[in-house]
Structure 1
Amino acid sequence: MTFQSFLAAAPTRLDPLQLFLDADIVVQAVIVGLVIASIWSWAIIVSFWLRMAGVKRRANSFEADFMEAEDPHSLLGEKNRRTNASARVAAAGIAELRASSDKGRVRDKAGAAQRVSMAMEGQVAEEADNLSARLNFLATTGSVAPFVGLFGTVWGIMNSFFQIGAQENSSLAVVAPGISEALFATAIGLFAAIPAVIAYNRFSARVNAFEARLHRFADRVSGQIGRELEGG
């Protein structure tokens, strides 16, 4: 096949599906893996966005009610503790205060206040860990996917050189299909990695901001408990 005939027979637009079907089995496996990783990354992105919106909304409502309530303990029911991060932080402090009490009296007030603060800080760290747990997959996809795609590219180019040797022909008609398939693997790798990296950076910042917010709430609760201890 001459160069002119190859150009005449070449498709007029890029067909990703045809590139996949014509690719070597190894390149196909790489592309399938990257597509699955991309789909899973988008599922995490959407679910985390919805989850974070709900977490912040519930925290806003609870914190406002808790700081204004005459009996804040009444807001620490099972439902709130199950669905609300701020409620769990406050409940950790109240539980430690009760554990430090002897028949309703606190003998070591300074020590009790410190233990209450530490209990809430520990709960804040646990809440942040729970929120960021699934983000690790986004970080992994963002860092690994380009290299997986590059592996498919290298394999496809190696296959193109093999075809050159097998056919003893180095014309563009022999080399171009394999190189196209190879570069398609790199494109899919970037397609999977770029959204994952952007989402991971964005969501990590949101988790950090929410963790800082819980720290501030814990400080307010700790201060309120400290005043109650001093008044008692």
Structure 2
Amino acid sequence: MQAVKDFFIGEWYFALPLVTMSLVGAALVIWRILLNMSANTSMDDFLPVFQEVLRKHGIRGAVELCKQEKGLIPSRVFVAGLEAADQGAAAMRRSIANEVELEVLPRLHFLLPTILAIAKIATMVGLFFTVISMINTFDAIGRESAAGKVKEIGGHSSKIGLALFATAIGLFTAIPLVFSHVLFKAWITKFEVKIKVATQKLITLVTNYKKDPKLLDGPIPGVTDRARVTTPTPVGAGKPPVAVAAAAPVAAPATAIPVKPVPQEPRER
């Protein structure tokens, strides 16, 4: 602990930039976590409500509902698809694809390049400060050796350990940031899959609504509606037994009696 204290006090010009990058990186990670939480939406809870509003109030009512949501899928993806609903399913897909590429994905990647840059720079800055400190230490050892002050050379050996603290702090800053960056990228990949699934369900609902609004009374594919889940009733349960009359025996076919041809008398000419 004494060596750490000596590094932060005696070598403060090395420690200050690294500590600053560490604090900034931690703040950016927390900020990105909060943004991810606000971008997420429970589609299992939202889709039944959306289906009911679409059936009762039409496309305009569904658009107003989606705009009131905070998640990116309802407020950006669904709104883009519904605004192109009158042009058909193909137009809805194009509108959603443009919205995802130009609006949604940039928001999901916000701060990630900065986090990765701080992680890389912190490692290189720590190594750079270590190299500078080592150069100064060996230069001081060389001067003491040339002056014949052999006993004082041992005092500079402790500075070699202090120089390595710069690399340690750089790695201490970079490792959590790189790990966080990997987790954020994995979360974005899962979110893209979620967008594709939600897009397909949206197009299905809008297509059914255009055909017949009553088609929306059924359950949404892929969404469990607990209110509609019932225990299947066995066939014939609760009904009185029906008596079945015995079939009458089938009579055997009668034997055909051969008929002899009657001879005809010859006609007189």
Instruction: Give the TM interval when normalised to the shorter protein.
Output: 0.7 to 0.9
Out of 75, 79, 97, which is 1:91 matched to? 79
> What is residue 52 of structure 1 aligned with on the other side?
36
**Cα separation, partners in 2 of 1:90 and 1:57, compared to 1, 3 Å:** closer
Show CA shifts across 1:194-215 (max 9, x none).
Answer: 1101111111111211121012
Q: Scaled by the length of structure 2, what TM-score is found? A: 0.66
Name the stretch that deviates more: 206-215 or 137-146.
Answer: 137-146
**Which residue number in structure 1 is paired with residue 127 of structure 2?**
150
Instruction: Indicate the SS of the match to 1:137.
Output: helix
Is the partner of 1:83 in helix, strand or coil? coil
| Letter of the structure 1 residue corresponding to residue 206 of structure 2 | I
The answer for the alignment partner of 2:6 in structure 1 is 18
**Aligned mates of 1:119, 1:17 — CA distance in 2:** 58
Question: How high is the TM-score relative to the length of structure 1?
Answer: 0.75
Give 1:131's match in structure 2, choosing from 108, 111, 124: 108
Between the aligned partners of 1:56 and 1:79, the Cα distance in structure 2 is: 14
Q: Which has the higher helix share?
A: 1
Corresponding residue number in structure 2 for 1:119: 95
- Whether contact under 8 Å (1:121, 1:218) holds in the other structure is no
Query: What secondary structure, in the 3-state scheme, does the structure 2 residue paired with 1:144 have?
Result: helix
Q: Using a 3 Å threshold, how does the CA distance of structure 1 residues 60 and 152 change in structure 2: closer, same or farther? A: farther
| Cα separation, partners in 2 of 1:218 and 1:79, compared to 1, 3 Å | closer
Compared with structure 1, are the counterparts of its residues 148 and 46 closer, same or farther at alpha carbon in structure 2 (3 Å cutoff)? Answer: same
Percent pairwise identity: 24
| Contact 1:59/1:84, CA 8 A, preserved across alignment | no
- Kindly state the Cα deviation for residue 29 of structure 1 after the two structures are TM-superposed: 4.1
1:54-203 map, 5 Å: 54-57=38-41, 61-69=45-53, 70=55, 71=57, 73=59, 74-77=61-64, 80=67, 83-87=70-74, 88-98=76-86, 100=87, 112-125=88-101, 126-168=103-145, 171-177=153-159, 179-203=160-184
Q: CA deviation at 1:19?
A: 1.0
Aligned residues: 203
- 2:181 paired with 1:205: no
Deviation, structure 1 residue 90:
0.8
RMSD, aligned α-carbons:
2.6
Unaligned runs of 5+ in 1: 1-12, 101-111
